[in-house]
Chain A
Amino acid sequence: MFNIPLAHSESGSREILNVCQQIMKRLGSEITSESLELFLKNVLSQKRPSLERLTFISMGRITDPTPEFFSSLVNQVDTVEILSDNSGYEIFYNSYLSGRSIFQEETHHSINDPGLITASVVRLLKQSGEIADTSSAIIYRNPEDNPVLAETITGALNQPFYLFFERALYNQSILRLENAAKKCFVPNQETLNDWREQHIVTAEIGKSSDLEVLLKEIVEIEEKCIEPIGDNKLQEDIDHRVLIVSYFSLPTTLVSTQRLSYWHKSLEEIAAAAGVALEVIWLSATTNAETFPRNRVVKDRGNFLVSSMARNKLAKAINVGVPSLGMSWSDYVKEETKKWDESFDTVVISVGPFGYLELGAYFKELWESQIIYDFRDPYGGDPRMIFTKEQRAWIDQHEEENVDNGDVVVSVNQQCLEVIAPNVNIHRAIVNNGFNETVINDATNLQARDSENSEEFSPLEKIRFVYCGTIFRNLGIDEFLNALSPNRHNLVHFGRDQTNSQVLKEHEGTEQRGFLSDKSLLAYEMLKCDAGILRLGGESTTGTTKVFDYIGCDLDIIIITDGKVESGAVHDLTKDLEGVFWVKNNSSEINKFLASYIPTRNKRKDRNNFSRRSQASTLLNLILQPQMNSEG
């Protein structure tokens, strides 16, 4: 395209860059000379990104020239500006082809409806070519201004999209959006700190007017890698195929994905050790899961694009006011999996959210699969949830009807199992989370090596407590913190603090280390401690994954409860273990406990029964059960 010798272009282009930057500054852009230089290099380079079309969608006017810049790099660039006022929405559309503006249109909507506005946007974008036929990406600015509209538009366009937030707002629509996005960006560190408090995907700092940020993403976009599915693709030497279905998957930061991630990684290996060739595929709505092997993704495209059959059910659920997350996704999964030219022998449907429970009946009919429902939390029987009578009736019916279509129900403790569809006659089993033995063994070895290498050994004088995970809004630990003596005690917290505790921030004996995504590092730090803190509200069904981590790291377990001591699911789990201490959550009880507490610092003999491997073996037995029955 440019026949300019590189040597010439450098000096000439520098002058152009300076002029460009001056012009940009006058227009109010914050563009840097480094970004401009990088951009120009890309434009002059022979290599072009494989992306054919880039669409900028903005809730508000686009005042920077970023789209125009990218029109020199990407074949087609569209801008869709959506402005709202009291009388409705104004949509301004612009299309650039090879750097020239070829189409402009504006339209006005007086009806404030996300579905209609999306239809309008789709129609406008269609004017200059079908999006589905090209390799496209969407840059969406300020989705938090109208997240329902954002998820409807991105769902309708069904192309990879990048979200650029100004604020770290959080609600169900934004949760769905970020789960389906390729990446999320926030403008600065402060917003990123707010983001980390509640959101389930990690975000980066970046602005959509930053050429460098966009260039990096465009260059990295690749065709979605889909596992080839065809007649000759079913592997003949696989004995049993398992599909794990859950709404969220890695790389979201939800604790719930850890359980499934372990099964996904280890079941094949555990089965191989027992002489069974197992294949485990994980299906979810988390877009970035498709970068991991043996993962499939079906995006949740929002509530406005479901089939007419699903529409009624969804409308009823929304009308009644029950949690509906996952219901629309259920419809999209059915639409997509119908086209798969393969089948699965067992489908493990892991719920919470509960909107896709009906996939059990669907897969049973489609593939005659064994259906295992994994309830990580109770549904209708969850004592923490407050429902109206009408809502409870709807939820109980929903739970019962769908569990009735399953073959096995698994959950994390007996209390949960008992409250899940109690009137349905179905095989029930406990499959706990367990501690990740690989991670903890690695951390233990590392710690042992570090201890050998250190020249001096200084025994810890202070008692070190650790709290892993989120301190929930209604389950603060301030009473415990206030009772700590800085001379004798130390507490380190890894995770989010929803209570925003000033005591935790300011106490001399406490450390806040934030969210640690590296599990090995977390285990390493835990191994330095004496006791792990568990905080309970008193409900019998509540279990918690961190108790296994504490057991794995041979820590004492201190359970601070608002309810009755030595009761509920946690007591059932730990009652035969040494080094477990129950304390009522009031200052006198806590003070009394701390005055006499001495860490046991012992390895428990039944420790390995609490490992994930041990628990996953239980699941494997359930999976292979029909097969073993047919063979035996």
Chain B
Amino acid sequence: MDSDGDHQPNFSEVELKLLEDFAFRINNEVSELREEVKQLRIDRQLRSFPSWLAKRIKSKIKSKISNRTKNRIKLYLNGLTKLLSNTNRPLTSKSSSANRKQKNTILLISHNYPINIGDYGGLPIARRIPFYKAAGYNVSVFVPSNARLKEKVVASDGTTVYFAPLSKIEQTAKRVNAGQLAIHSPTPEIYASSKKVMLDLSTHVWIHGFEARNWRELIFDFSQEEIASIGKQLDITNVERQWALSELFTNTEINTIFVSEFMRSVAEDFAGNKATASQVIHNVIDSNLFPYSPKSEDMRMNICSIRNFGKRNYATDLMSRAILGLSKKPWFSELSIEIYGDGQYFEKDTAPLRLFENVKLHRRFIGAKDLREVFARSGIALLPTRWDSQGMLNGEAMSSGVVPVSNAVTAIPEFISEAEGKLADPENSNQLAMGISELIENSEQFLTKSLSAKERVEAQCSPEKTVHREIELFEKSRL
């Protein structure tokens, strides 16, 4: 006991040794992490080195040339500016109709964009573009890339997509004469490269998922070996993301859009700051793409599952176990089950299902057209998950009148309730199977939920409730 009478813990020699050892190792790890962060900062400084160097050279030259030469250059530039001012407006001008026209041009920054029909990556972004265009906006897409050979590509939907390094954002914005910037899933690198452009353009930022959560929330996507070898790097990435998001969220000039309430809560928690100018606008579910067709009770026997077999958060193992659970039912052979998708776990997760003749496996991703046809002939969609910020496939299935069966995790309950679908507890494939069984054995329930699903999606994710609100934000920024 010390003089204040507080009880001091009495550690044995062994405990002291262990604690000292822990402190030593943590100290070493923190030092290493600090060093790595410092290196990253130096890297970033070096990346901006060329423009810094250019400015330096410019100021050196200015100090070297004579006043006479300087005057001549000024006169020349003035003349050129006047000549160009009749046809061009500088990026920063805010008042003229030319400027308003410019504000109709949106440069959208995204990590991916579907170039060909059937491409999967970037689909949620691509779904928006037709609505923007219909509202009179010109949209160009910028996809950061170092490897692409062709810099400018026209996608199958007619959208111009620029593949270029992040350093070319400013140049591309000028090239397309962008008036507004729309950034989807801002990473620290994108944020850093866009800062200057953000000063000149009205900016809107979408938070979808990976960029605003702790990687450890999806630790099931990593093997022990991966965690051991890249865990530290991912922790550093966490810190970088937190910094970037914190700055974005506290910037009152930037509109932040979260795709769900769940995503807002996760992102603000992660960043450590509330987003000042924010709203929740879900990803659009276009009923023109996924039209509703009333389901007959027979159609409840047709089950589809479209998943990415590449990561464990898509829970394809739960899907497989659920179907195995269903196989014990007397009516199992009457079901028709279609499974679509691809990824590293495809063989492993579908292996137990191969002996069932009524389970058809399609090792490929499918585009919107094929997806529409699958939903058109299905009654139930088995879409288990471990993490989703919205679950667009659920929405697209519901729009088609397909009853979704998923897990009550993360954002899913924000979009599906017992009225429209079946939700199982996390990790519970038995409940997934039970949910399907209830729909099979009670056709009335199935038909009711099928209609409710379509109505829910209309009420929550229709263009009026989603992408039109985004367009309103664009409109406000034009004024």
The finding on whether chains A and B are genuine partners in a shared complex, rather than unrelated, reads: yes
Chain B residues within an 8 Å CB radius of A158:
14
A113-124 CB contact bits vs B (8 Å, 1 = yes)?
101101100110
Task: Contact check, B25 vs A123: say whether CB atoms are below 8 A apart.
Answer: no
Interface residues of B in 1-58 (CB under 8 A from A): 12, 14-15, 17-22, 24-25, 28
Measured in the bound complex, the distance between the Cα atoms of B18 and A311 in whole Å is 11
Least distance between B26 CB and chain A CB atoms (Å): 8
Give the residue name and chain of the B residue nearest to A308 (CB).
Answer: B20
- Chain B residue numbers with a CB within 8 Å of A304 are 17-18, 21-22
Smallest beta-carbon distance A168→chain B, Å: 18
Nearest CB of A to B30, in Å: 13
- Point out the residue from A130, A305, A308, A315 that lies within 8 Å of B18, measured CB to CB: A305
Contact B15 A123 (CB under 8 A): yes
Is B219 at the interface (CB under 8 A from chain A)? Answer: yes
Please, which residues of chain A bring their CB within 8 A of the CB of B20? Answer: 308
Which of A115, A116, A126, A315 has most chain B Cβ within 10 Å?
A115
User: B219: which A residues are within 8 A, CB to CB?
Assistant: 86
Residues of B contacting A126 with CB < 8 Å?
Answer: 12
A303-319 toward B: CB 8 Å interface, digit per residue (1/0)?
01110100100010000
Q: Is the CB of B25 within 8 A of A315?
A: yes
In the bound complex, residues from chain A placing their C-beta under 8 Å from that of B25 are 113, 115, 315
Interface of B is mostly: helix
> Chain A residues with Cβ under 8 A from B216's Cβ?
86
Asked if residues B12 and A305 are in contact (CB atoms below 8 Å), the reply is no
**A86-136: which have CB < 8 Å to B?**
86, 113, 115-116, 118-119, 122-123, 126, 130
In the assembled complex, A624 has its CB within 8 A of some CB on chain B: no
Please tell me if the beta carbons of B18 and A115 are within 8 angstroms of each other in the complex: yes
Contacts of A115 in B (CB 8 A): 18-19, 21-22, 25
Q: In the bound complex, how far is the Cα of B219 from the Cα of A152, in angstroms?
A: 25
Residues of A within 8 A of B17 (CB): 304-305
Given contacts A86-B219, A126-B12, contact A119 B18 (CB under 8 A): yes
Residues of A within 8 A of B21 (CB): 115, 304-306, 311
B24:A122 contact, CB within 8 angstroms:
no
Distance in angstroms from A122 CB to nearest chain B CB is: 6
If the complex has contacts A86-B219, A305-B17, are A122 and B22 also in contact, measured as CB distance less than 8 A? no
- The interface residues of chain B lying within 8 Å CB-to-CB of A305 are 14, 17-18, 21
Is the C-beta of A430 less than 8 angstroms from some C-beta in chain B?
Answer: no
- A:319-355 near B, CB below 8 Å: none
In the complex, what distance in Å separates the CA atom of A116 from the CA atom of B21? 9
Most chain A beta-carbon contacts within 10 A, residue among B12, B18, B22, B219: B18
Residue of A nearest to B9 (CB): A123
**A127-153 at interface with B (beta carbon < 8 Å):** 130, 152
A304 closest partner in B (C-beta): B21
**Residues A113 and B14 in contact, CB atoms below 8 Å apart:** no
Q: Is A156 interfacial (CB 8 A cutoff)?
A: yes
Instruction: Give chain A's interface secondary structure class.
Output: helix
Interface set, chain B 198-240, CB cutoff 8 A to A: 216, 219-220
Q: Which residues of A contact B19 (CB under 8 A)?
A: 115-116, 119
Query: A116-B22, A304-B18, A308-B20 known; A122 and B12 CB under 8 Å?
Result: yes
Known contacts A308-B20, A311-B21; is-contact A122 B28 (Cβ 8 Å): no
- A175 and B22 CA atoms in complex are apart in Å by 23
* Chain B residues near A311 (CB-CB < 8 A): 21, 24
Report whether A116 and B18 are in contact in the complex, using a CB–CB cutoff of 8 Å: yes
From residue A62, how far is it (CB to closest CB) to chain B in Å?
24
How many angstroms between the C-alpha atoms of A123 and B25 in the bound complex? 21
Cα A2 to Cα B220 in complex, Å, equals 55
Question: What is the distance, in angstroms, from A57's C-beta to the closest C-beta of chain B?
Answer: 15
Chain B minimum-CB-distance residue to A307: B17
Once A86-B219, A122-B12 are accepted as A-B contacts, the answer to whether A113 and B28 lie under 8 Å apart by CB is no
Query: For the complex, what is the distance from the CA of A148 to the CA of B21, rounded to whole Å?
Result: 14
Alpha-carbon gap, A156 to B19, bound state (A) = 12
Q: Which residue of chain A has the shortest Cβ distance to B219 in the bound complex?
A: A86
Alpha-carbon distance A391/B21, docked complex (angstroms): 24
- Can you name the residue of chain A whose Cβ is closest to the Cβ of B220? A86
A118–B14 Cα distance when bound, in Å, is: 10
Q: Closest approach, in angstroms, between the C-beta of B387 and any C-beta of chain A? A: 12
Residue of B nearest to A303 (CB): B21
Q: Please report the C-alpha to C-alpha distance between residue A36 and residue B220 in the assembled complex, in whole angstroms.
A: 43
B12 touches A118 (CB 8 A): no
Chain A residues numbered 40-88 whose CB sits less than 8 Å from any CB in chain B: 86
A123–B15 alpha-carbon span in the complex (Å): 8
> Closest A-chain residue to B23, C-beta based?
A115
Q: How far is the CA of A306 from the CA of B18 in the complex (A)?
A: 9
From B32, which residue of chain A is reached at the shortest CB distance? A319
Chain B 411-460 interface residues, beta-carbon cutoff 8 Å to A: none
Which residue of chain B is the closest to A305 with respect to CB atoms? B17
Residues 152-173 of A at the B interface (beta carbon under 8 Å): 152, 156, 158
Contact, CB under 8 Å: B18 / A118: yes
For residue B28, which residues in chain A have a CB less than 8 angstroms away from its CB?
A: 315
Q: Which residue of B lies closest to A306 (CB)?
A: B21
Most chain B beta-carbon neighbours within 10 Å: one of A130, A152, A156: A156
Distance, CA A113 to CA B24, complexed state (A) = 13
Q: Given A86-B219, A126-B12 in contact, is the A156-B18 Cβ separation under 8 Å?
A: yes
* A–B complex contacts, Cβ < 8 Å, 13 sampled: A86-B220, A113-B22, A119-B15, A122-B18, A152-B18, A156-B14, A304-B21, A305-B17, A305-B18, A305-B21, A306-B21, A308-B24, A315-B25
B residues whose Cβ falls under 8 Å from a Cβ of A: 12, 14-15, 17-22, 24-25, 28, 216, 219-220
**Residues on A close to B: CB < 8 A?**
86, 113, 115-116, 118-119, 122-123, 126, 130, 152, 156, 158, 304-306, 308, 311, 315
Q: Which 8 A-B pairs have the closest CB atoms?
A: A119-B18, A115-B22, A115-B18, A119-B15, A304-B21, A156-B14, A115-B21, A305-B17
9 other contacts beyond A116-B18, A304-B18, A304-B21, with CB at 8 A cut-off?
Answer: A113-B22, A113-B25, A119-B15, A122-B14, A123-B15, A152-B18, A158-B14, A305-B17, A306-B21
